[in-house]
Amino acid sequence: MTDAFLPAPITARMRPAHSAGRRALLAGATAVAVLVSVPILAVAASVLQRGDGALSHLVQTVLGEIILNTLGLMVMVGAGTAIIGVGTAWLVTLCRFPGSRQLEWMLLLPLAMPAYIIGYAYTDALAFAGPVQSGLRALFGWGRADYWFPDIHNLPGVSLMLTLVLYPYVYILARAAFLDQSTCVLEAARTLGANPWAACLRVGLPMARPAIAAGVALALMEALADFGTVQYFGVTTFTTTIYRTWFGLGDRVAASQLATGLLAFVLVLVVMEFLARRGRRFGGGGRRHRMLAPLQLSAPKAAAAAVACALPVLLGFVLPVIALIRLHGDGGDPFFSERFLTFARNSFLLAGAAALIVVTAATLVAYAGRLAPGAATTAALRVASIGYAVPGTVIAVGILAALGAADHGLDAWTRATFGQGTGLLLSGTAVALLYAYLVRFLAVATGPVESGLHKIPGSLDAAARTLGANAGKVAVAIHAPMLRRSLLTAALLVFVDVLKELPATIIVRPFNFDTLAIRVYNLAADERLAQASTGALVIVAIGIVPVILLTRMIARDTRRGGRPD
């Protein structure tokens, strides 16, 4: 009699906790989505107002061009980052050739290089008045009309600059995916007669597709949001046109309309990323996690692989650093002193705090997608991605408007209630800055976290729960170790992005608070590249640290055979 009644109470207790947990997750994800969308909506809201007629002016003059340029940028950067990122990831992960171990981490180095800095470096080196062309003219006695030299200040040129600094997004996610692929699936393919190359093309790549799609989407979002590089290169895009419409023409309404047009391009990327995952749970496959034996390449192929992998590092990092060092030797920053260290400290602390906040929010959103699937959760996931491709300038102005309204509302309320206002509590503070970074970079973290969760089989969750573990225990005891690489990847990407961030920081930051990126940009904007090079080198140097840390973590996990069983 007693035994007959025992199971019922346990079951009854489990069900409410489970439902409550799901509701909490959904509420959290919704809160994050609302936070992220508020500044963007604050800008978009003015779309509905009647403008000063600037939009019709733009339609007649530059709109066609900016659409073509933006599309061209997307095609070139998308193709470039995919080819370089996936190709190099496959080579260093699944093949062995001289230098492959070193190239594993070196291929991440361009991540530390802001696009506008590489643009300045190549401009300085390759310009008509620069050392390369001047040297050639002196050597061969040429005049201007006597030779042709490729001009990088155009759409292909700026696309190349962006590709060289953005391919690491694809590389890092593709490589993580290749590392995590189940050995037995690839071995089964080989058993059925596929050679190693065919196994990659027909099995490995499709399985890595969610990660590759996420990486390319991130790279393209970053390219769409870029302002400093495309402007310096004289390429007219949505971002540069939004800026000059907002500020030059003084038409906030038309600028918002352009920003809405830009969001249409962003949504294409979000949908692309979503479709790449639809209907596929790649967490399937066997649980054997022994690393696939790396392919030993023949000498000619090994040499070709080494060159193919070294070239992006050379062009995306080594040559620009050499150019910066040369510029630094020409002058360097006169503030290389205590004030400069303050810039560096500000940058580091902001990047660290932002990485923590953004990865936490991304994990919350990704878990909601896993444990509480549904239309509301899907919407929250998609909204979380939008901020990444909105120009920092637009996000910052949206945040100014949103926080300004919040501050004014609170001030008015306390003034009416207590007779004393609160003034500005949020505007112009570090809180505002971190909020800007959350909006801008949540997508950076969401991609790897989601990809990581997708690789954990649902059956593991089910098995754990059958044994009595609740959702919390599943997350802590089982998922956390398995997600470690994804979480660290996400944190790394956010850290480096915040380190390089410019427009939102410039607009939102507190008094007497500058970062290295601002210092570099101010000097470059005032055309003092030699002095800007000092801060640029420091940004690159700081950016290398997380790259090295992540590389070590990946290497250690790999040697242990990947995920624990």
Residue 61 binding another protein, by CB under 8 A: yes
Residue 408 binding another protein, by CB under 8 A: yes
For 485, 487, 544, 551, 553, the CA distances from 492, given in Å and listed in that order, are: 10, 9, 10, 11, 12
> Looking at 423, 458, 481, 561, which residue binds another protein (CB under 8 A)?
423
When the beta carbons of 281 and 330 are compared against another protein, the nearer one is 330
Least distance (Å) from another protein to the CB of residue 526? Answer: 6
Residue 330 binding another protein, by CB under 8 A: yes
**Under rule CB under 8 A, which residues in 358-397 are in contact with another protein?**
393, 396-397
> Looking at 222, 273, 407, 497, which residue binds another protein (CB under 8 A)?
407
How far from chain centre, in Å, is Cα 39?
19
Least distance (Å) from another protein to the CB of residue 525? Answer: 7
Residue 513 binding another protein, by CB under 8 A: yes
**Under rule CB under 8 A, which residues in 435-494 are in contact with another protein?**
none
Stretch that binds another protein, among 308-316, 422-430, 535-543, 545-553 (CB under 8 A): 422-430
Least distance (Å) from another protein to the CB of residue 404? Answer: 4
Q: What is the CA radius of gyration of the chain?
A: 25
**In this structure, is the dihedral angle defined by the CA atoms of residues 433, 438, 441 and 444, taken in order, positive or negative?**
positive
> Looking at 30, 360, 422, 558, which residue binds another protein (CB under 8 A)?
422
DSSP 8-state class, residue 293: P
Which of 523-547 are b and which e, b meaning 16 or more Cβ less than 10 Å from the residue's Cβ? bbeeeebbbbbbbbbbbbebbbebb
When the beta carbons of 306 and 506 are compared against another protein, the nearer one is 506
State both tokens at 425: 């509590």
Stretch that binds another protein, among 161-169, 213-221, 356-364, 421-429 (CB under 8 A): 421-429
Residue 332 binding another protein, by CB under 8 A: no
As a whole number of angstroms, the distance between CA 463 and CA 112 comes to 42
Stretch that binds another protein, among 278-286, 352-360, 399-407, 482-490 (CB under 8 A): 399-407
Least distance (Å) from another protein to the CB of residue 127? Answer: 7
Residue 247 binding another protein, by CB under 8 A: yes
> Looking at 421, 460, 549, 558, which residue binds another protein (CB under 8 A)?
421
- Reduced 3-state DSSP string for 119-133: HHHHHHHHCCCCHHH
> Looking at 21, 99, 156, 404, which residue binds another protein (CB under 8 A)?
404
**Under rule CB under 8 A, which residues in 63-102 are in contact with another protein?**
none
Q: At what angle do helices 155-180 and 529-559 cross, to 10 degrees?
A: 20
Stretch that binds another protein, among 257-265, 343-351, 362-370, 482-490 (CB under 8 A): 343-351
Determine contact, residues 441/358, Cβ cutoff 8 Å: yes
As a whole number of angstroms, the distance between CA 171 and CA 163 comes to 12
**Under rule CB under 8 A, which residues in 4-23 are in contact with another protein?**
none
Alpha helix ranges (H) inside 372-479:
375-386, 392-418, 430-454, 458-466, 471-473
Determine contact, residues 164/312, Cβ cutoff 8 Å: yes
Least distance (Å) from another protein to the CB of residue 245? Answer: 9
State both tokens at 537: 């080198």
Residue 507 binding another protein, by CB under 8 A: yes
As a whole number of angstroms, the distance between CA 513 and CA 515 comes to 7
Residue 349 binding another protein, by CB under 8 A: yes
Residue 150 binding another protein, by CB under 8 A: no
As a whole number of angstroms, the distance between CA 354 and CA 498 comes to 7
Amino acid at 458: G
Which residue, among 73, 59, 402, has the nearest Cα to 261 in the 3D structure?
59
**Under rule CB under 8 A, which residues in 249-268 are in contact with another protein?**
249-251
Residue 511 binding another protein, by CB under 8 A: yes
Which residues, in sequence order, are bridge partners of residue 295?
95
**Under rule CB under 8 A, which residues in 176-235 are in contact with another protein?**
231-234
When the beta carbons of 153 and 209 are compared against another protein, the nearer one is 153
> Looking at 57, 209, 326, 382, which residue binds another protein (CB under 8 A)?
57
What string of DSSP letters covers 175-196? Answer: HHHHHHS-HHHHHHHHHTT--H
Amino acid at 522: N
Number of residues that bind another protein (CB under 8 A): 72
When the beta carbons of 363 and 505 are compared against another protein, the nearer one is 505
State both tokens at 235: 């390429």
Least distance (Å) from another protein to the CB of residue 166? Answer: 21
Least distance (Å) from another protein to the CB of residue 35? Answer: 18
**Under rule CB under 8 A, which residues in 127-146 are in contact with another protein?**
127-129, 133-134, 143-144
Least distance (Å) from another protein to the CB of residue 330? Answer: 6
Q: First-to-last CA distance in the chain?
A: 41
Determine contact, residues 210/448, Cβ cutoff 8 Å: no
Least distance (Å) from another protein to the CB of residue 328? Answer: 13
